[in-house]
Amino acid sequence: MDDRIIKTEYSEVMQKSYIDYAMSVIIARALPDVRDGLKPVQRRTLYDMHELGIRYDRPYRKSARIVGDTMGKYHPHGDSSIYDALVVMTQDFKKGLPLIDGHGNFGNIEGDGAAAMRYTEARLQKITQEAFLADLDKDVVDFLPNFDETEKEPSVLPVKIPNLLINGSEGIAVGMATNIPPHNLVEVINATKAYMLDEKITTKELMRYVKGPDFPTGGIVINKDELLDIYETGVGKVKIRGKVEVEKAKGGKVNLVITEIPYTMIGANIGKFLLDVASLAETKKTQDIVDITNQSSKEGIRIVIELRKDADVENFKNLLYKKTRLEDTFGVNMLAIADGRPETMGLKEIIKANVDFQYEVATRKYKNLLEKELERKEIQEGLIKACNVIDLIIEILRGSKDRNMAKACLVEGKVEGIKFKSKESKIMAAQLMFSEKQANAILEMRLYKLIGLEIEALINDHEETMANIYRYEDILARRDSMAQVIINELDEIKEAYGRKRRTEITNAEEAVFVEKKIEEMDIIFLMDRFGYAKTIDLQTYERNKENVLVENKFVFQCKNTGKVCLFTNMGQLHTIKVTDIPFGKFRDKGIPVDNISNYDSAKESIIYVSSQTDLNLYRVIFATKSAMLKVVDGGEFDVAKRTVAATKLQDGDEVISVVTLKEQHHIILQSKEGYFLRFTVAEIPEKKKGAIGVRGMKLGANDQLEAVYYTRGTDDKTIEYKEKMIELNKLKLGSRDSKGVKVRV
């Protein structure tokens, strides 16, 4: 047993195992092959459909059958990955050239998923049959054993076009990812032909043909000048915008209609775009929006934004480009498997790899065809020769005892044992010398082949065979001839399946949104005990002042251009722009402050709310549960960040009181055990917001600060404590950091 135990360093085993796993994911799962532009799961699915005979001119078959057969024979990685790949290859909004013809619900551009595989059906597209799978029977690619060595599968499909560019690809491997945009079939084929005619052509010259990405969703690429560098290196960022049209509506209003979207917006991002546009109106980023509707259908995208009469349309367009995904970035990383390893390739490198592959496939194809024609020529020549001496052949057949004797005579001239009518026949028979294949063809020849017309047809076939042999030998001997054959096939595909470019390529200036200046005015901020906030004008406040004060926890005047500051028990300061708070009627519900700030009502509670203007004019007093006190200059809270630490807290401590220091003279601290301590506010030192503060009251072992009160000079202030009324100014005046007096109840 000991001799079978291998002792090794654990880290080495982990390193080797991880490298093996990473290479498996890179090569066998996530990245496409530069030659056919397909990932293994896509290649295996298409090949399985080809083997099952699910051609473009035959009935659809259940997707579940295709998925199950592919998983059982070629791709043992789970049915979901196979079905997902099949679905994507049917979607014309994801692929510039769909490879599978789907029947049923295969999802839509708005992100709705495909129906389960048991409901949908599929078959190959015509171009897939003609340009991806056509020559598999001609030994043009290597076949490898499948995972259990019970079947053979192609290592690559003999694709006749640069599919990696035409359909693009995306995938995440281990430590690397690929993201290749789709391109126009006509442009890519033209560039391929240009490269074949001049292999020294530069990327810049190739871009006379390939203008840039051609996304199925259309849109506008706006950084044309940066595309050359992207296609040189294979890496970069393509900036794309949706296409927007302006339509006049009733009542002098204007409709902004989005007819094409960026490729990156397909799926759930369309819904997010609609929410983002609605959010622009809710947060007062713009007041130009009247309504937004999604009128998209099978015919195409149509998102209508209704604007006010006096709206600045160009400025609003720029707002959409800046604040939503109507302008987005497609990160290009043209990574593919080349010669068995991942490689980032530019436009020319991808075309070169594909052309080299086309020459390799064509060489193997025409070698195979030449061999078959040479074999046919041999047989045809034997049959023609046999027809010229048909009487002798019949005499040999009639005089032979069995097939082997007749064959030996035809091939080797052995005449022993064969009965001939004359010595001349015997001498002639000994001189026949047919080849093995010719002899078999003669022995299997039917009598009707001796009819004159059949003999003439045989001679015509032989002439055609000789012409084919000459053509194939010329193709194999001269690279120019082979190039012309490949170019002719490319032209046929371009003629049959080419379409106009969908995506516009241009240079556009960066979108600049000029935010309209808000006319500054005083308004009233209201927040109820449930955390719903809103603002109202001063006149509304004066008319409803009594109800406002009863129904709301925080009420104060502020500027509509300013900020509101929320102080929480966890020592955090959350700021909100007043423009983000809904302005309206007194009875409007308002908006939860959780929705417009970083405040989380599940983890913290609001202690105090103030306007930024007030804080800048005054100082702020903090008191915590452990009786730590400090005064902070309110200007320290005039910050750009949405959330900062308003004070430093010890472990387990929390803020129980925050107050703007205006005319307060005395502070009264009340502990949980019933101790009250009154002293002057002047005894509290001023600290920075990052400081803990000083102790305001000596607390017992299990005691803590429960409440904080303030009085102004000699004013009378009474509180109720455990059903007993206490006049705060009559409490004994003490000093900070003393125990205070206990109130007997």
- Residues marked as catalytic: 119
Instruction: Using alpha carbons, list the distances in angstroms from residue 68 to 51, 53, 107, 118.
Output: 14, 15, 21, 11
10 Å CB burial of residue 496 (0-12, 13-18, 19+) is exposed
The three-state secondary structure class of 63 is: helix
CB–CB of 285/324 below 8 Å?
A: no
Residue 192 to residue 349: CA distance in whole angstroms:
11
| Selection from 184, 247, 256 nearest residue 218 by Cα | 184
CB atoms within 10 A of CB 330: 20
Residue 126 to residue 503: CA distance in whole angstroms:
25
What residue type is assigned to position 631 of the chain? V
CB–CB of 540/534 below 8 Å?
A: no
10 Å CB burial of residue 234 (0-12, 13-18, 19+) is buried
CB atoms within 10 A of CB 135: 18
Pairing verdict, β 220-221 and 504-505: parallel
Supply angle C-alpha 469, 470, 475, rounded to 5: 95
Supply angle C-alpha 210, 213, 219, rounded to 5: 130
Residue 561 to residue 441: CA distance in whole angstroms:
98
The three-state secondary structure class of 188 is: helix
Q: Which two tokens stand for residue 664?
A: 């307060």
Residue 574 β-bridge partners: 566, 643
CB–CB of 101/123 below 8 Å?
A: yes
Instruction: Using alpha carbons, list the distances in angstroms from residue 674 to 621, 667, 698, 720, 742.
Output: 22, 16, 13, 12, 6
| Selection from 29, 156, 98, 64 nearest residue 72 by Cα | 64
Residue 569 to residue 61: CA distance in whole angstroms:
64
| Selection from 367, 258, 316, 677 nearest residue 516 by Cα | 316
CB–CB of 348/201 below 8 Å?
A: yes
Chain CA centroid to CA 302, Å: 22
Pairing verdict, β 327-333 and 235-241: antiparallel
Residue 661 β-bridge partners: 619
Residue 403 to residue 409: CA distance in whole angstroms:
10
Q: Which two tokens stand for residue 208?
A: 């006379």
